[in-house]
Structure 1
Amino acid sequence: MNKMEPENWHDYEVESRREILALMRRISEQRQLVRMIVSGTSDSCITSLLAIDPDSNTMTFDRSVDAEQHHRILAAGGIDCETSLDKIRILFSVRNLRETAYENGTALQAPVPETLIRLQRREYYRIPTPLSNPVRVVLPVAGNGETAPLTLPLADLSCGGIAILDNKRQLNNQIGLVLPDCRIELPEFGPVTTSLQIRNSVDMTLLHNKPNHRLGCQFVDISPANLAKVQRYITKLQREQNARMAGLV
Protein backbone atom coordinates (compact mmCIF):
# COMPACT_ATOMS: atom_id res chain seq x y z
CA MET A 1 0.00 0.00 0.00
CA ASN A 2 1.08 3.61 -0.30
CA LYS A 3 3.21 5.47 2.18
CA MET A 4 0.39 7.07 4.14
CA GLU A 5 -0.84 3.85 5.69
CA PRO A 6 -0.43 3.39 9.47
CA GLU A 7 1.28 0.28 10.76
CA ASN A 8 -1.96 -1.23 12.05
CA TRP A 9 -3.71 -1.21 8.64
CA HIS A 10 -3.27 -5.01 8.66
CA ASP A 11 -5.98 -5.12 11.32
CA TYR A 12 -8.46 -4.48 8.48
CA GLU A 13 -7.01 -7.03 6.03
CA VAL A 14 -9.44 -9.28 4.17
CA GLU A 15 -8.06 -12.65 3.04
CA SER A 16 -11.25 -14.58 2.19
CA ARG A 17 -11.36 -15.17 -1.57
CA ARG A 18 -15.17 -15.32 -1.53
CA GLU A 19 -15.38 -11.98 0.29
CA ILE A 20 -12.81 -10.34 -2.00
CA LEU A 21 -14.68 -11.50 -5.11
CA ALA A 22 -17.98 -10.23 -3.69
CA LEU A 23 -16.48 -6.81 -2.90
CA MET A 24 -14.86 -6.52 -6.32
CA ARG A 25 -18.09 -7.48 -8.04
CA ARG A 26 -20.00 -4.76 -6.19
CA ILE A 27 -17.30 -2.19 -6.98
CA SER A 28 -17.67 -3.11 -10.65
CA GLU A 29 -21.48 -3.13 -10.63
CA GLN A 30 -21.67 0.24 -8.89
CA ARG A 31 -19.04 1.74 -11.23
CA GLN A 32 -17.01 3.05 -8.33
CA LEU A 33 -14.01 5.19 -9.24
CA VAL A 34 -10.67 3.47 -8.67
CA ARG A 35 -7.45 5.42 -8.24
CA MET A 36 -4.41 3.59 -9.64
CA ILE A 37 -1.00 4.64 -8.31
CA VAL A 38 2.29 3.37 -9.75
CA SER A 39 3.95 1.88 -6.66
CA GLY A 40 6.60 4.13 -5.14
CA THR A 41 5.66 7.17 -7.25
CA SER A 42 3.04 9.94 -7.42
CA ASP A 43 1.99 8.81 -10.92
CA SER A 44 -1.74 8.06 -10.73
CA CYS A 45 -4.89 7.89 -12.82
CA ILE A 46 -8.62 7.52 -12.20
CA THR A 47 -10.20 4.42 -13.71
CA SER A 48 -13.00 1.93 -13.05
CA LEU A 49 -13.34 -1.82 -12.66
CA LEU A 50 -15.08 -2.99 -15.82
CA ALA A 51 -15.42 -6.70 -15.10
CA ILE A 52 -14.37 -9.52 -12.80
CA ASP A 53 -14.08 -13.18 -13.84
CA PRO A 54 -13.79 -15.68 -10.96
CA ASP A 55 -13.15 -18.57 -13.36
CA SER A 56 -9.97 -17.01 -14.76
CA ASN A 57 -9.27 -15.15 -11.48
CA THR A 58 -8.90 -11.86 -13.36
CA MET A 59 -10.13 -8.27 -13.10
CA THR A 60 -10.42 -5.88 -16.04
CA PHE A 61 -9.89 -2.14 -15.58
CA ASP A 62 -10.52 0.74 -17.93
CA ARG A 63 -7.25 2.02 -19.39
CA SER A 64 -5.77 5.48 -18.85
CA VAL A 65 -6.83 8.04 -21.47
CA ASP A 66 -3.19 9.17 -21.54
CA ALA A 67 -1.30 6.79 -23.87
CA GLU A 68 2.08 7.45 -22.24
CA GLN A 69 0.66 6.85 -18.77
CA HIS A 70 -1.00 3.65 -20.01
CA HIS A 71 2.41 2.31 -21.06
CA ARG A 72 3.98 3.40 -17.75
CA ILE A 73 1.30 1.49 -15.85
CA LEU A 74 1.90 -1.62 -17.95
CA ALA A 75 5.65 -1.35 -17.41
CA ALA A 76 5.38 -0.83 -13.64
CA GLY A 77 6.26 -3.63 -11.27
CA GLY A 78 3.18 -2.98 -9.17
CA ILE A 79 0.09 -0.80 -8.93
CA ASP A 80 -1.63 0.34 -5.73
CA CYS A 81 -5.38 0.87 -6.00
CA GLU A 82 -7.77 2.85 -3.83
CA THR A 83 -11.56 3.02 -3.99
CA SER A 84 -14.60 3.07 -1.72
CA LEU A 85 -17.81 1.11 -1.33
CA ASP A 86 -20.71 2.21 0.87
CA LYS A 87 -18.41 4.88 2.34
CA ILE A 88 -15.87 2.22 3.32
CA ARG A 89 -12.39 2.80 1.97
CA ILE A 90 -10.83 -0.16 0.14
CA LEU A 91 -7.12 -0.51 -0.71
CA PHE A 92 -5.45 -3.26 -2.71
CA SER A 93 -2.43 -3.90 -4.92
CA VAL A 94 -2.28 -5.58 -8.31
CA ARG A 95 0.61 -7.20 -10.13
CA ASN A 96 1.23 -8.56 -13.62
CA LEU A 97 -0.99 -6.06 -15.40
CA ARG A 98 -1.36 -6.71 -19.10
CA GLU A 99 -3.26 -5.22 -22.00
CA THR A 100 -6.37 -7.07 -23.10
CA ALA A 101 -9.09 -6.64 -25.70
CA TYR A 102 -12.34 -5.30 -24.27
CA GLU A 103 -15.45 -4.56 -26.33
CA ASN A 104 -14.21 -2.31 -29.18
CA GLY A 105 -10.94 -1.28 -27.57
CA THR A 106 -8.30 -2.30 -25.06
CA ALA A 107 -8.25 -2.43 -21.28
CA LEU A 108 -6.02 -3.56 -18.42
CA GLN A 109 -6.26 -7.00 -16.89
CA ALA A 110 -4.70 -8.33 -13.67
CA PRO A 111 -5.14 -11.24 -11.26
CA VAL A 112 -7.62 -10.77 -8.41
CA PRO A 113 -5.61 -9.69 -5.33
CA GLU A 114 -5.10 -12.31 -2.64
CA THR A 115 -5.74 -9.73 0.09
CA LEU A 116 -7.17 -6.23 0.44
CA ILE A 117 -7.65 -3.61 3.14
CA ARG A 118 -11.20 -2.64 4.07
CA LEU A 119 -11.40 0.20 6.56
CA GLN A 120 -14.43 -0.10 8.77
CA ARG A 121 -17.21 2.44 8.73
CA ARG A 122 -16.12 3.87 12.09
CA GLU A 123 -12.90 5.05 10.47
CA TYR A 124 -15.06 7.41 8.43
CA TYR A 125 -17.11 8.97 11.22
CA ARG A 126 -17.96 12.46 9.98
CA ILE A 127 -18.51 15.32 12.37
CA PRO A 128 -20.05 18.68 11.44
CA THR A 129 -17.63 21.59 11.78
CA PRO A 130 -18.69 24.37 14.20
CA LEU A 131 -20.46 27.45 12.88
CA SER A 132 -19.04 29.62 15.66
CA ASN A 133 -15.42 28.86 14.74
CA PRO A 134 -15.52 27.67 11.11
CA VAL A 135 -12.96 25.36 9.56
CA ARG A 136 -11.77 26.54 6.16
CA VAL A 137 -9.74 25.00 3.37
CA VAL A 138 -7.41 26.99 1.12
CA LEU A 139 -7.25 25.53 -2.38
CA PRO A 140 -4.75 26.57 -5.05
CA VAL A 141 -6.87 27.15 -8.15
CA ALA A 142 -5.28 27.63 -11.58
CA GLY A 143 -6.68 30.28 -13.90
CA ASN A 144 -5.30 32.54 -16.63
CA GLY A 145 -1.92 30.87 -16.32
CA GLU A 146 -1.68 31.68 -12.60
CA THR A 147 -2.53 29.91 -9.36
CA ALA A 148 -4.62 31.89 -6.89
CA PRO A 149 -5.81 30.63 -3.50
CA LEU A 150 -9.52 29.99 -3.02
CA THR A 151 -10.80 29.78 0.57
CA LEU A 152 -14.01 27.84 1.27
CA PRO A 153 -15.75 26.65 4.47
CA LEU A 154 -16.18 23.00 5.45
CA ALA A 155 -19.49 21.31 6.18
CA ASP A 156 -17.95 18.34 7.96
CA LEU A 157 -14.70 16.48 8.54
CA SER A 158 -13.54 12.88 8.98
CA CYS A 159 -10.29 10.93 8.98
CA GLY A 160 -11.02 10.06 5.36
CA GLY A 161 -11.76 13.50 3.97
CA ILE A 162 -13.82 16.68 4.08
CA ALA A 163 -17.03 18.16 2.70
CA ILE A 164 -16.62 21.64 1.20
CA LEU A 165 -19.41 24.20 0.84
CA ASP A 166 -19.12 26.10 -2.45
CA ASN A 167 -22.32 28.10 -2.82
CA LYS A 168 -20.87 30.26 -5.64
CA ARG A 169 -19.59 27.21 -7.56
CA GLN A 170 -16.07 28.59 -7.79
CA LEU A 171 -14.39 25.19 -7.71
CA ASN A 172 -14.19 22.70 -10.57
CA ASN A 173 -16.51 19.89 -9.46
CA GLN A 174 -15.24 17.21 -11.84
CA ILE A 175 -15.56 13.82 -10.12
CA GLY A 176 -12.14 12.23 -9.69
CA LEU A 177 -10.24 15.51 -9.98
CA VAL A 178 -7.23 15.63 -7.62
CA LEU A 179 -6.40 19.02 -6.08
CA PRO A 180 -2.79 19.14 -4.81
CA ASP A 181 -1.36 21.19 -1.93
CA CYS A 182 -4.65 22.03 -0.21
CA ARG A 183 -4.42 23.54 3.28
CA ILE A 184 -7.08 22.89 5.93
CA GLU A 185 -6.96 25.45 8.74
CA LEU A 186 -7.91 23.67 11.97
CA PRO A 187 -8.66 26.15 14.77
CA GLU A 188 -6.21 25.74 17.68
CA PHE A 189 -4.41 22.92 15.86
CA GLY A 190 -2.95 24.72 12.85
CA PRO A 191 -2.83 23.84 9.16
CA VAL A 192 -3.04 20.40 7.57
CA THR A 193 -1.69 20.12 4.04
CA THR A 194 -2.83 17.33 1.74
CA SER A 195 -4.09 16.60 -1.75
CA LEU A 196 -7.84 16.18 -2.13
CA GLN A 197 -9.81 14.12 -4.63
CA ILE A 198 -13.37 15.16 -5.48
CA ARG A 199 -15.60 12.12 -4.92
CA ASN A 200 -19.11 13.58 -5.13
CA SER A 201 -20.91 16.82 -5.89
CA VAL A 202 -24.45 17.63 -4.78
CA ASP A 203 -26.80 20.59 -4.45
CA MET A 204 -28.30 21.01 -1.00
CA THR A 205 -30.62 23.31 0.94
CA LEU A 206 -29.51 24.79 4.26
CA LEU A 207 -31.62 26.42 6.96
CA HIS A 208 -34.14 29.05 5.80
CA ASN A 209 -34.19 27.38 2.34
CA LYS A 210 -30.77 28.78 1.51
CA PRO A 211 -29.25 26.82 -1.43
CA ASN A 212 -25.65 25.64 -1.35
CA HIS A 213 -23.33 23.26 -3.16
CA ARG A 214 -21.46 20.47 -1.35
CA LEU A 215 -18.32 18.76 -2.60
CA GLY A 216 -17.23 15.55 -0.89
CA CYS A 217 -13.43 15.19 -1.02
CA GLN A 218 -11.15 12.35 0.00
CA PHE A 219 -7.65 12.77 1.42
CA VAL A 220 -4.90 11.68 -0.98
CA ASP A 221 -1.44 10.79 0.38
CA ILE A 222 -2.01 12.63 3.66
CA SER A 223 0.97 12.20 5.99
CA PRO A 224 0.56 10.23 9.25
CA ALA A 225 1.36 13.41 11.22
CA ASN A 226 -1.36 15.41 9.49
CA LEU A 227 -3.84 12.54 9.81
CA ALA A 228 -3.11 12.41 13.54
CA LYS A 229 -3.78 16.15 13.78
CA VAL A 230 -7.16 15.68 12.06
CA GLN A 231 -8.00 12.87 14.50
CA ARG A 232 -7.12 15.04 17.51
CA TYR A 233 -9.30 17.86 16.23
CA ILE A 234 -12.22 15.46 15.65
CA THR A 235 -11.77 14.08 19.19
CA LYS A 236 -11.90 17.65 20.54
CA LEU A 237 -15.15 18.36 18.66
CA GLN A 238 -16.66 15.08 19.91
CA ARG A 239 -15.84 15.97 23.52
CA GLU A 240 -17.41 19.40 23.14
CA GLN A 241 -20.46 17.87 21.49
CA ASN A 242 -20.86 15.30 24.28
CA ALA A 243 -20.47 18.01 26.92
CA ARG A 244 -23.25 20.10 25.32
CA MET A 245 -25.55 17.08 25.17
CA ALA A 246 -24.88 16.40 28.85
CA GLY A 247 -25.67 20.03 29.71
CA LEU A 248 -22.15 20.69 30.98
CA VAL A 249 -21.60 23.75 28.77
Structure 2
Amino acid sequence: MNQHEATGAGTGTDTGTDTVAAATPADERYRLTHNSQIGTVLRDLSWQKCMLSVRTRTGHQFVTSVLHVDPVNRTFMFDWCNADAERQSLMTSEENAFSGLLRGVPVNFMVGQPAATRFEQGPAFVVEFPEKLYHFQRRRHFRARTLVTKGYRCEIRSAGNALLCLDIADLSLSGVGLRSRSVTEEQLPVGTTVARCRLDFRELGKVELDLQVVGHWLVGHDDNAIHHFGCAFVNPDGRMENFLQRLVFALELAHRG
Protein backbone atom coordinates (compact mmCIF):
# COMPACT_ATOMS: atom_id res chain seq x y z
CA MET A 1 0.00 0.00 0.00
CA ASN A 2 2.76 2.46 0.72
CA GLN A 3 6.50 2.73 0.89
CA HIS A 4 6.46 3.63 4.57
CA GLU A 5 5.40 0.06 5.43
CA ALA A 6 8.21 -1.76 3.63
CA THR A 7 10.49 -3.75 5.91
CA GLY A 8 12.81 -5.14 3.26
CA ALA A 9 11.85 -8.76 3.88
CA GLY A 10 13.55 -10.96 1.36
CA THR A 11 10.84 -13.51 0.59
CA GLY A 12 9.90 -14.64 -2.86
CA THR A 13 12.72 -13.06 -4.80
CA ASP A 14 13.89 -16.27 -6.53
CA THR A 15 12.83 -16.95 -10.09
CA GLY A 16 11.87 -20.13 -11.87
CA THR A 17 9.39 -22.95 -11.48
CA ASP A 18 10.49 -23.97 -8.00
CA THR A 19 9.56 -20.55 -6.61
CA VAL A 20 5.90 -21.07 -7.48
CA ALA A 21 5.55 -24.80 -7.14
CA ALA A 22 7.27 -25.07 -3.75
CA ALA A 23 5.88 -22.07 -1.88
CA THR A 24 6.60 -22.34 1.83
CA PRO A 25 3.85 -22.15 4.49
CA ALA A 26 5.01 -18.62 5.33
CA ASP A 27 4.32 -17.60 1.72
CA GLU A 28 0.69 -18.72 1.83
CA ARG A 29 -0.45 -15.48 3.43
CA TYR A 30 0.54 -13.77 0.17
CA ARG A 31 -1.45 -16.18 -2.02
CA LEU A 32 -4.27 -14.68 -4.09
CA THR A 33 -6.92 -17.01 -5.52
CA HIS A 34 -9.86 -14.70 -6.27
CA ASN A 35 -10.07 -13.83 -9.97
CA SER A 36 -10.64 -10.13 -9.28
CA GLN A 37 -7.46 -9.96 -7.16
CA ILE A 38 -5.42 -11.88 -9.73
CA GLY A 39 -6.77 -9.67 -12.53
CA THR A 40 -5.85 -6.52 -10.59
CA VAL A 41 -2.22 -7.63 -10.16
CA LEU A 42 -1.98 -8.66 -13.84
CA ARG A 43 -3.37 -5.27 -14.93
CA ASP A 44 -0.88 -3.52 -12.68
CA LEU A 45 1.94 -5.51 -14.28
CA SER A 46 0.67 -4.44 -17.70
CA TRP A 47 0.19 -0.76 -16.82
CA GLN A 48 3.61 -0.56 -15.19
CA LYS A 49 5.20 -2.36 -18.18
CA CYS A 50 6.94 -4.75 -15.78
CA MET A 51 9.40 -7.25 -17.20
CA LEU A 52 8.66 -10.87 -16.26
CA SER A 53 10.89 -13.92 -16.39
CA VAL A 54 9.19 -17.04 -17.81
CA ARG A 55 10.59 -20.50 -17.13
CA THR A 56 9.12 -23.57 -18.83
CA ARG A 57 8.96 -27.06 -17.40
CA THR A 58 11.96 -28.11 -19.52
CA GLY A 59 14.07 -25.28 -18.12
CA HIS A 60 13.93 -22.85 -21.06
CA GLN A 61 13.72 -19.24 -19.92
CA PHE A 62 13.02 -15.85 -21.53
CA VAL A 63 11.75 -12.37 -20.63
CA THR A 64 8.29 -11.04 -21.49
CA SER A 65 5.63 -8.55 -20.36
CA VAL A 66 1.84 -8.56 -19.94
CA LEU A 67 0.17 -6.86 -22.92
CA HIS A 68 -3.55 -7.12 -22.17
CA VAL A 69 -5.86 -8.53 -19.47
CA ASP A 70 -9.40 -9.81 -20.12
CA PRO A 71 -11.10 -10.18 -16.71
CA VAL A 72 -14.38 -11.40 -18.24
CA ASN A 73 -12.84 -14.41 -19.98
CA ARG A 74 -10.10 -14.67 -17.34
CA THR A 75 -7.25 -14.62 -19.82
CA PHE A 76 -4.25 -12.40 -20.42
CA MET A 77 -1.89 -11.81 -23.33
CA PHE A 78 1.87 -11.57 -23.06
CA ASP A 79 4.68 -10.67 -25.41
CA TRP A 80 5.85 -13.04 -28.15
CA CYS A 81 9.13 -14.94 -28.00
CA ASN A 82 11.20 -15.01 -31.21
CA ALA A 83 13.60 -17.75 -30.11
CA ASP A 84 12.37 -21.06 -31.58
CA ALA A 85 13.52 -23.34 -28.75
CA GLU A 86 12.01 -21.19 -25.99
CA ARG A 87 8.77 -20.65 -27.93
CA GLN A 88 8.27 -24.35 -28.66
CA SER A 89 9.06 -25.28 -25.07
CA LEU A 90 6.55 -22.70 -23.78
CA MET A 91 3.73 -23.77 -26.11
CA THR A 92 4.12 -27.47 -25.27
CA SER A 93 4.60 -27.04 -21.52
CA GLU A 94 1.71 -27.46 -19.07
CA GLU A 95 3.64 -25.57 -16.37
CA ASN A 96 5.13 -22.15 -17.10
CA ALA A 97 6.36 -20.10 -14.15
CA PHE A 98 6.28 -16.29 -14.25
CA SER A 99 8.22 -14.12 -11.81
CA GLY A 100 8.94 -10.41 -11.60
CA LEU A 101 8.70 -7.26 -9.53
CA LEU A 102 5.71 -4.92 -9.21
CA ARG A 103 6.82 -1.61 -7.64
CA GLY A 104 9.69 -3.50 -6.02
CA VAL A 105 7.46 -6.27 -4.65
CA PRO A 106 7.93 -9.85 -5.96
CA VAL A 107 5.10 -11.44 -7.96
CA ASN A 108 5.11 -15.16 -8.85
CA PHE A 109 2.53 -17.36 -10.58
CA MET A 110 2.16 -20.47 -12.74
CA VAL A 111 0.09 -20.82 -15.92
CA GLY A 112 -0.71 -23.67 -18.26
CA GLN A 113 -0.14 -24.07 -21.97
CA PRO A 114 -0.61 -20.79 -23.91
CA ALA A 115 -1.90 -20.32 -27.44
CA ALA A 116 -0.73 -18.03 -30.22
CA THR A 117 -2.80 -14.91 -30.92
CA ARG A 118 -2.49 -11.37 -32.29
CA PHE A 119 -2.20 -8.10 -30.38
CA GLU A 120 -2.02 -4.73 -32.15
CA GLN A 121 -0.97 -6.33 -35.46
CA GLY A 122 1.78 -8.36 -33.82
CA PRO A 123 2.13 -11.96 -32.58
CA ALA A 124 1.46 -12.64 -28.91
CA PHE A 125 0.56 -15.42 -26.50
CA VAL A 126 -2.77 -15.80 -24.68
CA VAL A 127 -3.33 -17.98 -21.63
CA GLU A 128 -5.88 -18.48 -18.85
CA PHE A 129 -5.47 -16.75 -15.48
CA PRO A 130 -3.35 -18.68 -12.98
CA GLU A 131 -5.27 -20.55 -10.28
CA LYS A 132 -3.20 -18.73 -7.68
CA LEU A 133 -0.79 -15.81 -7.66
CA TYR A 134 1.73 -14.85 -4.99
CA HIS A 135 2.05 -11.10 -4.40
CA PHE A 136 4.71 -10.79 -1.71
CA GLN A 137 3.75 -7.70 0.26
CA ARG A 138 6.82 -6.64 2.19
CA ARG A 139 4.97 -4.78 4.91
CA ARG A 140 4.44 -4.72 8.64
CA HIS A 141 0.74 -5.50 8.22
CA PHE A 142 -1.42 -7.39 5.77
CA ARG A 143 -3.09 -5.23 3.13
CA ALA A 144 -6.71 -5.97 2.17
CA ARG A 145 -7.82 -4.77 -1.26
CA THR A 146 -11.28 -3.26 -1.70
CA LEU A 147 -13.83 -4.25 -4.32
CA VAL A 148 -14.13 -1.41 -6.83
CA THR A 149 -17.91 -1.85 -7.03
CA LYS A 150 -18.34 -0.99 -3.34
CA GLY A 151 -17.50 2.69 -3.87
CA TYR A 152 -15.52 3.23 -0.65
CA ARG A 153 -14.35 6.84 -0.48
CA CYS A 154 -11.92 9.08 1.39
CA GLU A 155 -12.63 12.79 1.93
CA ILE A 156 -9.67 15.07 2.57
CA ARG A 157 -9.58 18.81 3.25
CA SER A 158 -6.63 20.35 1.44
CA ALA A 159 -4.52 23.22 2.74
CA GLY A 160 -6.76 25.59 0.75
CA ASN A 161 -9.86 24.08 2.39
CA ALA A 162 -10.92 22.37 -0.83
CA LEU A 163 -12.68 19.01 -0.42
CA LEU A 164 -10.81 16.21 -2.20
CA CYS A 165 -12.58 12.89 -2.78
CA LEU A 166 -10.57 9.76 -3.60
CA ASP A 167 -11.39 6.06 -3.92
CA ILE A 168 -10.07 3.68 -1.27
CA ALA A 169 -7.97 0.97 -2.98
CA ASP A 170 -6.74 -0.98 0.05
CA LEU A 171 -6.39 -0.86 3.82
CA SER A 172 -4.05 -2.16 6.52
CA LEU A 173 -3.45 -1.38 10.17
CA SER A 174 -0.64 0.97 9.10
CA GLY A 175 -2.31 2.97 6.36
CA VAL A 176 -4.55 3.23 3.35
CA GLY A 177 -4.09 3.22 -0.43
CA LEU A 178 -6.05 5.86 -2.35
CA ARG A 179 -6.59 6.47 -6.07
CA SER A 180 -8.14 9.19 -8.20
CA ARG A 181 -8.29 10.38 -11.80
CA SER A 182 -8.66 14.03 -10.75
CA VAL A 183 -6.61 14.50 -7.56
CA THR A 184 -2.95 14.98 -8.50
CA GLU A 185 0.40 14.96 -6.71
CA GLU A 186 0.36 18.77 -6.78
CA GLN A 187 -2.74 18.69 -4.58
CA LEU A 188 -1.43 15.94 -2.28
CA PRO A 189 2.37 16.07 -2.42
CA VAL A 190 4.39 13.33 -0.74
CA GLY A 191 5.15 14.34 2.86
CA THR A 192 1.84 16.13 3.40
CA THR A 193 0.06 15.42 6.69
CA VAL A 194 -3.70 15.95 6.70
CA ALA A 195 -5.86 15.97 9.83
CA ARG A 196 -9.27 14.32 10.24
CA CYS A 197 -9.56 12.54 6.91
CA ARG A 198 -12.88 10.75 6.60
CA LEU A 199 -12.79 7.14 5.40
CA ASP A 200 -16.24 5.93 4.36
CA PHE A 201 -16.60 2.15 4.08
CA ARG A 202 -20.38 2.40 3.71
CA GLU A 203 -22.05 -0.58 5.41
CA LEU A 204 -18.83 -1.43 7.27
CA GLY A 205 -18.60 1.95 8.97
CA LYS A 206 -16.87 5.33 8.83
CA VAL A 207 -13.76 6.58 10.57
CA GLU A 208 -11.77 9.84 10.83
CA LEU A 209 -7.98 9.65 10.99
CA ASP A 210 -4.90 11.80 10.45
CA LEU A 211 -2.95 10.72 7.35
CA GLN A 212 0.50 11.36 5.93
CA VAL A 213 1.10 10.92 2.19
CA VAL A 214 4.21 8.72 1.90
CA GLY A 215 4.08 7.62 -1.74
CA HIS A 216 2.64 8.54 -5.13
CA TRP A 217 2.71 6.78 -8.50
CA LEU A 218 0.85 7.23 -11.77
CA VAL A 219 -0.74 4.32 -13.64
CA GLY A 220 -1.71 4.78 -17.29
CA HIS A 221 -1.36 7.73 -19.60
CA ASP A 222 -3.24 10.88 -20.67
CA ASP A 223 -6.99 10.77 -19.93
CA ASN A 224 -6.79 7.23 -18.57
CA ALA A 225 -4.12 8.02 -15.98
CA ILE A 226 -4.93 7.18 -12.36
CA HIS A 227 -3.05 8.74 -9.44
CA HIS A 228 -2.29 6.31 -6.60
CA PHE A 229 -1.36 7.56 -3.14
CA GLY A 230 0.12 5.55 -0.28
CA CYS A 231 -0.86 7.06 3.06
CA ALA A 232 0.25 6.15 6.57
CA PHE A 233 -1.95 6.61 9.63
CA VAL A 234 -0.59 9.14 12.14
CA ASN A 235 -0.65 7.83 15.73
CA PRO A 236 -3.95 5.89 15.81
CA ASP A 237 -4.94 4.88 19.36
CA GLY A 238 -5.64 1.32 20.51
CA ARG A 239 -9.40 1.64 20.08
CA MET A 240 -8.95 2.85 16.52
CA GLU A 241 -6.54 0.00 15.73
CA ASN A 242 -9.14 -2.52 16.90
CA PHE A 243 -11.71 -0.99 14.56
CA LEU A 244 -9.21 -1.00 11.69
CA GLN A 245 -8.45 -4.67 12.33
CA ARG A 246 -12.15 -5.53 12.01
CA LEU A 247 -12.34 -3.50 8.79
CA VAL A 248 -9.33 -5.28 7.27
CA PHE A 249 -10.84 -8.65 8.17
CA ALA A 250 -14.23 -7.72 6.68
CA LEU A 251 -12.62 -6.47 3.44
CA GLU A 252 -10.62 -9.69 3.06
CA LEU A 253 -13.75 -11.80 3.64
CA ALA A 254 -15.59 -9.78 0.96
CA HIS A 255 -12.83 -10.53 -1.56
CA ARG A 256 -12.78 -14.24 -0.74
CA GLY A 257 -16.56 -14.37 -1.09
TM-score, normalising length: structure 1 = 0.46
Structure having the higher strand fraction is 1
Normalising by structure 2, report the TM-score.
0.44
Higher relative contact order (CA 8 A, sep 6+): 2
